[in-house]
Every structure is written in structure tokens, then in C-alpha cells.
Structure 1
Amino acid sequence: PCLLYSLLKEKRQKEAAKQDIRKVRGPDGQPIYLTKENVTKIYGEYEGSKIELFEQLEKSFTKEQRHQMNSAGYAVLSPAQRELIYGPNSPMNDSIALDRMRNVTNDVVHRTVRDTIRFVGAGELRYEVHDGVGKLAPVVSRRQKRQARVLNPLVLQAIVNDPAGASAPLILSPVVLSALINSPAVFGAIVLSPFVFLPLITSPRVLSPIILTPAIGTPIILSPLVLDPFVLSPGVMNPFVLSPFVLTPLILSPQALTPLILSPFVLSPLVGTPNALSPLVLSPFAASPLVYSTPILSALVLSPHFLSPNIHSQGIAFTSVLSPAYLS
């Protein structure tokens, strides 16, 4: 609640702006300079009573308050003046605000003003206007925005152009019928948070491991991955399209219907990760061995590979087409 005349005056100005008072013009297009009389005529007795209220407030100023206004830019209202502004006979009646201000001392007001100026200057507070009413609101820091979502499912939500939101770790928070678009993530670990139909589009991820998180219908499109291991995270229908990945192993994470198309990868072994109906097409890879990861009903098409041996991973109904192996 406002104790200061300057802020009360600002509130009056905001309410006037809300009513588009400054846009009032006569029949010939000339601006009308509003007075108490024509405000009452145009907007009614209620708006006119506000002008009368502030005229009474100005007349009630003491010599000390006028000195405060001239030297500091604000003045602390006396209890009687607060009653005038917020009391039951005022058009701006606010009994809750009035009760809060009854025991507020002048020292508290001055300290609050100084602290507010300091917080605004430090970027911790900002002035917001909603529906013509202004108020101070805390600025949410990047660190606060990145607080982990725990037991907080996402359903039918799109995260668009929001790197901070995409970087918030997900824990025990399933994601269903949502989308991640143009929202890069850093340190956005995902743990025990199953995905169902969550496309990732132009949303690269760095240092964002996926652990114990099954995924269904989660295409990864134009979204490179770096240091994003998949651990104990099986998947179905999760195609990678134009999404290269580096240092992103799949460990004990079986896949089905998960093709890699134009998605080269390096230093990303498959360990204990059998895959079915998951061809690699135009996706060269290097230093990415298959260890106990049998491909089933799959193919390697136009995907040369280097230093990537199959270790106990003999394919079943698997074919290689124009995909030479070097030191593999």
C-alpha cells in the first residue's frame, strides 16, 4: 500500500490514462484541457470526486510536508490524510490498506523508499502496470527460473523460446502431448519423467542427461545433443532428424522405431541397448561401438563409420548398404 503522496499522484495518473483522458478532443479535433468540471461532465461524479479528493489532500499539506516534497520528491501522509485517501468516505476506499498503514512510522516509510530505490537499481524489483494499475514486482532471476520441477507434470503445454524453462531439471514429472520449440537447454537433467508425444524442434541440449525416463513418440529434429547420456531410458518412435550428437551414449536403453536420419554422432556408444526397426540413414559415426546392442530388422544406409566395432552385437535381419567400415 502506498503511503507517499507522489505515488498516490502517480496512481491517479494511471487511472486517468486507463480512461484515455488524454485522448479527449473536441468536434474540431482540438484537445480539451480537462478540469474538475468537464471531467465530472464527461466521466461522471465518481471520477470528479477523485479530483476533489486530491485537492483536499493538497490543501491539508503541512509546511514540513511541502518541504519534503520540494527536497525529496515525496511526502509521508499523516494518519488523518491516510484516512482521507483510504477511508470509508473516499472514492478510493481501501480498508485493508488503511489497516496495514495504521502502525507504520515515518522511519519505516523512509527506509522502505531507500530500499526500493536500491532494489530497483540492482534489478531485483521492477515496475509493472496491469489494467492501468502500477505496482512493484520482484524480478525472477535466471536461477529461480531454473528451479527443478518435481512432481509437476506437463500436459498440453508448449515451451517456446524459453531456454530457462527448458533447462529446469525434471524429476518425477511426466510430460504428455507437449512440445519443446526453439528452447536450448543446459544442465536440464530429466529423471523418472516419462515422455509421451513430446517433439523437440530446434532445441539443442547440453549436459542434460536422461535417466530412467521412457519416451514414446518423441522426435528430435534439428536439436543437437552434447553430453546427454540416455541411461535406463527405453524409447519407441523417437526419430532423430538432422540432430547430431556427441558424447551421448545410450546405456541400457532399448529402442524401437527410432531411426537416425542425417544425424551423425561421435563418441556415443550403445551399451546394452538393442534396437529394432531403427535404421541409420546418411548418419556417419565414429568412435561409437555397439556393445551388447543387437540391431534387429534394421539397416545401415549410406552411413560410413570409423572405430566403431560391434562387440557381441551381431545383427538379426540386419543389412548394410553403401556404409563402409574403417577400423571397426
Structure 2
Amino acid sequence: MPTSDAPSGWRKARRRAARALGALLVLAAASYVAYQFAGKSPQGAGCVVRSGDDSFELTQSQAANAATIAAVATARGLPERAVTIALATALQESRLDNLDHGDRDSLGLFQQRPSMGWGTAQQIMDPVYSTGEFYDGLVKIKGYAGLPLTVAAQKVQKSGYPEAYAKHEADATMLSAALLGRKAGALSCRTGADAQDSAGGPAGDPARVAAALKREFGAQARPKTAGEPARTVSVPAAAVGKAAGGTVQRGWQLAQWSVAHAQALKVSAVSFGDMRWQAARSGSGWQKLPEDAEPVSDGGGGGFVRITVAQ
């Protein structure tokens, strides 16, 4: 052990080694933090799904990806069980983040591999495409809706850890109920706009919102950008698939899809029925429209969703 009378060169070398070790520890800590918070939205932004006393938190990008998984299922006429299986799978494979890396050449929400025939890397990094590929595999499984979730997911994914999907079933079930509109107002997001100057944010494009709706829900979505205000997209709830809950359920699916994509599409407000979500007041979640405001309805009980983008 060195003593106080050790040569000065030895003491200097020891100090250099200590500094190098300290730098490595700082780098390791920074890397850990970067990994843990990859994809997290800044300034406290994020989303939450609530069901009774239970809740599940997501980043804005995770919520958008989850909403896309539900929308693609609706466009294909798939049941809620298919959405639950897909969401649990994506939670296990990627945490609902659209990863550009993984084991070997695995990519995307479902960690699909170009070398295994799932598509090109560019295709797999498209959430709509990769979700469609997952559902293509799922519907080929006879009686998949009645199988244990781990069995159904494994038949598609062929994972080395098939039992891992089971731990996500409860969260995926809660997400499915919200993102398919069965739980009205269950999903809300904080965009960070509450603390910003409303005039200082980037402008949105109604045409971009309409294109995203058509791409994820299919041509039947029929969004319209005409009317007042000009930066609002209106979507008939009845135009988006069929559900046991009818057009009210589909309306809530569209409304919560819009909130989940609010950050990416620069959405400033979403209205359905007598409820409204506003980016500038996103911390308050879904709120009742003012008493003197006209409910968002077509007068026939069907209603439509209004999506307003930032100007």
C-alpha cells in the first residue's frame, strides 16, 4: 500500500487514475439516464390512460404508436383481442418505441427482422406497415382470439422469451379499451403547451392530419377540412368502422387518437360530443364544453370529431 512518502510520480499516477475512473462513472451514469429516458417528451409532456383506480403512463410517441396499432386494427375490422395482443407484444419488444436497433437486425415496434422476410428496414420503421405485418401473421392463426395471449403472440413473433408477453396483458387490455373508444376520455396527454406562449408554437397543417387519418383508419375515415375554422378537420364518427358501442365508441377512438398524435400533428384542440381537450390546457385533460357552446354533433346522434391544428 502506498504511504505518504511514496514517490511523487506514483501519487500523480494514482490521481490520474482516480480522475479517469470518475469520468468513466459519469459517462456510465449519463448513458444509463439516456437509455432510461429515450423517447421521453420534454418539459413534463406525456400521456396517461386511466381506468378506475388504475393508470398507465406513456410518452407522447408511445401513445401515438399505441393509437396507430389500434387504428390499423379498426381499418382491418379486427376485434379488440387482436389489439390487446398487438399492444402487449409491442410493449415487450420495444416499450412501444419505434426503435432503430435491436437484437441482430431487429427493428421497429415489433422488432421485426429484414433478414427474416418482414420487409425492408425502411418499411419496418413505418409503424403502420409494421403493425399491418404483425396483424397479417396474427390472423393466420386459427382461433387466435381464444388463445392465451402468450401463445398467440409467440406464434407470430417466435421469440426466445415467449412468457414475457404475459406481464403486459393487463396494461395492454387497459390501453385497448381506451384506444378503441370503449372507455370515453380515458386517454389524455400533456403536450407542454400549457407553459408556452400560444403564439410561439409551430403551425399545424389540416391536410397532414387528414392524410394521417386516411392512412391509419383507411379511406372510410372521410375527413373534411372545409368549414369554420379553416384549420379544423371534421371526421364523421360513423365513417370509421363498426363497433358494439356504435358511433359514440368510434368517435371516442378518433378523439383519443387525435390527442395521442397531438404533438406530432400540432393539434391544438379536439372536440367530441360535449367534451373538449385543448393543448393550451392539456394539464386539465378532457373538459366539458362551455354551456353556451354547441355540442359537436350532426343532429342525428352520430356526431363527428373536430380536430383543430395550431395556427
TM over 0.5: no
Q: TM-score range by the shorter chain?
A: under 0.3
Which structure ranks higher in relative contact order (CA pairs < 8 Å, sequence separation ≥ 6)?
2
Rg (Cα) greater in structure: 1
Report the TM-score when normalising by structure 1.
0.25
Report the TM-score when normalising by structure 2.
0.26
Between Structure 1 and Structure 2, the one with more strand by share is 1
